Chains A and B, each alone.
Chain A
Amino acid sequence: MIFEQFTQTAEQYRNELAIVEGDERITYGQLLDRIASTRGWLRRTLNPEPGSVIAASLSNTRQFVAAFFAVSELGAVFTPCNPQWRAAELRWLVRRLGISGAIAEQQFRPAWDRLGDVVPPQAVLTAPIAASAGEPAAALRLRAGSADAPTLYLTTSGSTGVPRLVPRSHRNLAAGAKNLARSLGIGPGDCVLGAAPFYHSNGFHNCMLMPLLCGATVVLMPRFTPTACAELLRHENVNLLIGSPAIYRFLAEGSAHLTLPSSMRCFSAGARMPEALSKRWKDRFGIRVRQWYGMAEANTLSIDRAPDEQASGAGAYVGSPIEGVDVRVLDADGNALDPGAVGEIAVRSDAVMSGYYGEPELNRRKFRGGFFRTGDSGYFDTAGKLYLTGRIGRVINIGGVKVDPVEVEQAIEGLAGVSACHVDAVTSESTSEVIRARVAVRSGMQLARTEVIEQCRARLAEYKLPRIVEFVDSLPMTLAGKTPAAWTTDEPAR
């Protein structure tokens, strides 16, 4: 069980620093106490049954960490939500999972308060709790339970108009953290700046859980700003930075006085680091940002680990598979391909989920011979290095956040005057990838950009809104009707 494993680490490193959050410095012993008080608070309020679901709208704070471990210890399933989600998106989650309650920071409560018909107001707790509200750590009792039971649901985007729910079991989480810590040699004395949000896979698995399970220190940044990030890098002994390309871009552009020690290891996760940015970062700080490849369903697959490795092949170089993870490149029939041949990347390890929540049909297609088919295409070179060449499905990746184009299309098609819509991602000059909506307008009708934005905003989180809105008379045949052959490899026809 994941909490049991954390407790072992915390007992062993009781006086070591677990978390730095602003001026607060929290040792492993203090974190155990905080988890106990959070658990006491949960028992007095929601008193969740084992297996019930607790949603959380929390920033990257110590409260997030304590809430996860407390919920997990109670045998319930922690379900972090993107705080940008609107009531409609939360309502979907609530209906799908039948949640028992939620923990929300005051600033994120308004969306929950609009769900009164499905979540009674008393089932939404406001974080943080008062420090004194708890029971002593000694009162924590470890529960027996199945290591294969889910303790976390992550949400990720598919391409069917609704998110997918990824159950993470105790075994998945423990294996993912262990494989990673061993591959990177992380342990007590290391200090990780987790700049990625904890409600996403990368932030949760790699920036938060992995360091805490191996006795390292996590430096929290509740809200990313380039200045705050530079300050933390300057003043805390951070030696591992895990961020998205956007974070590296902000740091490279601003922070004139920032210098980094050569011992710092920098990893880019979530999206491909543009080459020009890699070069700029290297010129500016003398450190190479290395690519990390993983996903909610499987945690980390591969990492570029050698300090001066040169990638030479076509596509995005993502290093070699980490310890304990079996990565293969498969053809359409599920046969492993030779080096150099492009196919679908598949993965098998204890960190791979058992299947998407409530999607038996999809799971039958995504799993083959114990391997999870990622939907990413790529190849191995003869040295066993992995390269990504694209997506087999239609999921859009905007700076590490996945967006389902169909969800956006459905929102826009709900607008009177729209006959069809196609959503994809394009790379603009000034920014990285942005969402583009091509909107076919009924003849004789006129639409304004602001109407499309307003329509989307009423239904979707801010990050799903298109930046490029093109009005067209009709969509090319290949784009109309939603299921061009090239895109259906991964998805059922709708």
Chain B
Amino acid sequence: MDKSATNAAAAAELPDTASRIRRVFVDSLGLNMSAADLDYERRLDEYAGLDSLAVLEFITALEKEFGITIEPDLLRLDFVRDLHELAAYVENRIAGMTSSPPDQSA
């Protein structure tokens, strides 16, 4: 099966980036709340403690969800807590990844 075609079809059905990030945030940290209840206009750390380990858990889950790698310099609370900035970054990364040759190891 053509993998890229499948991915493209799947992407068309997926919710927008920020919404997916919300779900990853709630799932990766094991929060007992619905992703839908997470207000776009609030900072993510208003909903949970984000110590360094939590940031790492969240980032690792984001990398897996979006098939991207996130620069180690960004493993910081002030980077991950703004949903809008995070979504913009993730979209940039996805664009960057698709314009360069695919990673054979992925």
Contacts and interface: CB of A to CB of B under 8 A. Distances in A.
B40 interface: no
Instruction: Identify which of B31, B63, B77 gathers the most chain A CB atoms within 10 Å of its CB.
Output: B31
Interface in A170-215: none
Interface stretch (A8-16, A225-233, A313-321, A477-485): A225-233
B30 A431 contact: yes
Given A226-B60, A449-B33, A463-B51, A257 B105 contact: yes
A464 B54 CA distance: 11
Nearest to A466: B49
Interface in B24-71: 27-33, 42, 45-54, 56-57, 60, 63-64
Nearest to A463: B51
Give the size category of B's interface with A.
20 to 34
Give the size category of A's interface with B.
35 or more
Nearest to A462: B51
A352 interface: no
Contacts of B42: 450
B72 interface: yes
Given A250-B60, A430-B27, A463 B53 contact: yes
Given A228-B72, A450-B42, A467 B31 contact: yes
Interface string A414-431: 000000000000001111
A453 B49 contact: yes
B60 A463 contact: no
A223 interface: yes
Contact of A469 (B32, B52, B53): B32
Contacts, number: 78
A454 B46 contact: yes
B29 to A, nearest CB: 6
A449 B57 CA distance: 21
Interface in B1-45: 27-33, 42, 45
A470 B46 contact: no
A454 B50 CA distance: 12
A84 to B, nearest CB: 6
A453 B56 contact: no
A467 B48 contact: yes
Interface string B94-106: 0000000000011
A428 B57 CA distance: 14
B51 A468 contact: no
A334 interface: no
A246 interface: yes
User: Which A-B residue pairs are the 8 nearest by beta carbons?
Assistant: A465-B49, A428-B30, A462-B51, A463-B51, A431-B30, A468-B32, A462-B49, A450-B46
Interface of B: 27-33, 42, 45-54, 56-57, 60, 63-64, 72, 75, 77, 105-106
Interface of A: 84, 223-228, 246, 250, 253-254, 256-257, 399, 428-431, 434, 436, 449-450, 453-454, 456-457, 461-470
13 contacts: A223-B52, A223-B75, A226-B60, A250-B56, A254-B63, A429-B30, A430-B28, A449-B33, A453-B48, A462-B77, A463-B54, A464-B49, A468-B31
